[in-house]
Amino acid sequence: MANSKRLFGVVRRNLLRRSPSSITTIRSSIQQTTRENIAAIKIQAFFRGHLGRRAFRALKSLVKLQAVARGVLVRKQARIALHCMHALARLQVRVRARQILSH
């Protein structure tokens, strides 16, 4: 118990002996670290924004490319469907003609 009281007294004396300038230096170094952290956070935020905008631009161009490709595929599918419908119509005409001629 006596050792802890003596140790506490030594620590207290050392703290009371410190000059105000050393305390100020500690505070300013904390502020400097904070400023550096804020600067790093701002730089990271701007860089992430830049990467996000670049990725969005690439995604937009990819979506446009997909729309063009799908448009081509849709037109091709419509052309095939019209061709099949035309073939069915010709076939129906032949079948009706045979029915009429056979009666």
- Note the pLDDT tens digit of each residue in 23-69: 555 555 666 778 888 999 999 999 999 999 999 999 999 999 899 88
Task: List the alpha helices (DSSP H) in the chain.
Answer: 2-17, 20-102
Domain boundaries of the chain, sorted by first residue? 2-102
First to last CA, the chain: 127
Taking the whole predicted model, whether its pTM rises above 0.85 is answered as no
- Note the pLDDT tens digit of each residue in 84-100: 999 999 999 999 999 99
Long-range contact pairs involving 9-16 (C-beta distance under 8 Å, separation at least 24):
none
